[in-house]
A and B are shown apart, each in its own frame.
Chain A
């Protein structure tokens, strides 16, 4: 089977790409996608380690929880982004810099 280190290398690469996406994009949706990439890197780690826990299934169960949490995060974040667009007419995170107009 595949070594643990191979999975962790792919996951580390995915995490760093997600970090780069978050830091550079000028669009909240793309920042959100970067966050999802980092979450998926973490889930890949959980699943790769979960192979060595057959009886209590720690890794796979918490991967499941993380996926569901990511879905809830996206729903709330998209609602917030749509509201920010209604108020500011932009979703550039660098330009939405005051709470009240």
Chain B
């Protein structure tokens, strides 16, 4: 049991536990703050998967952007909105949730079954990558490498994504503006 393993199991437990709390909680604001915990722990998992740049992007974009956007949208939209959003019918173990629970459980069982049947730690292409030394080592600096491949090999997806992001943000601003007599 090395330190890395302990950190992995700790972070994985935090991710799953906070996600379960989100599933159980009724309160919207609590849900959003627990989602913050989930995202931070996921960034830790990305670091353990040797993707440090992705982890930083996760923190900057998700925690700094998405979460703040969610909180802003509901703290700024008036007190009655916030109160209305939080009030929900409070029934404990409602019968209507049973199909959803069943579906999620069956889906989980199917996925775990597939994972164990594929013999994941001996995949041919993974063994190939290990044989050709194509594996990221813990002391590699990958950020420069990602930057170079982003503007050479993945230039077209990168540009399409920038157009899409621009269109999405303009569209969001257009949808959420106040109605005016045009």
Contact = CB atoms under 8 A, between A and B. Distances in A.
A43 B134 CA distance: 21
Contacts of B136: 50-52, 54
Nearest to A76: B172
Contacts, number: 227
Contact of B104 (A8, A10, A17, A72): A17
A27 B57 contact: no
B169 interface: yes
B48 to A, nearest CB: 6
A12 B108 contact: yes
A5 B176 contact: no
B28 to A, nearest CB: 6
Nearest to A8: B115
Interface string B25-48: 000100110010011001001101
Contact of A78 (B73, B115, B150): B73
A1 interface: yes
Interface in A46-75: 47-48, 50-57, 59-61, 63-65, 67-75
B132 to A, nearest CB: 9
Interface string A82-100: 1101000111000000000
A-B interface, 6 closest residue pairs, ranked by CB to CB distance from nearest: A23-B100, A72-B168, A79-B176, A20-B104, A52-B129, A16-B108
Given A19-B104, A56-B153, 6 more contacts: A23-B103, A24-B23, A30-B22, A40-B42, A57-B153, A70-B61
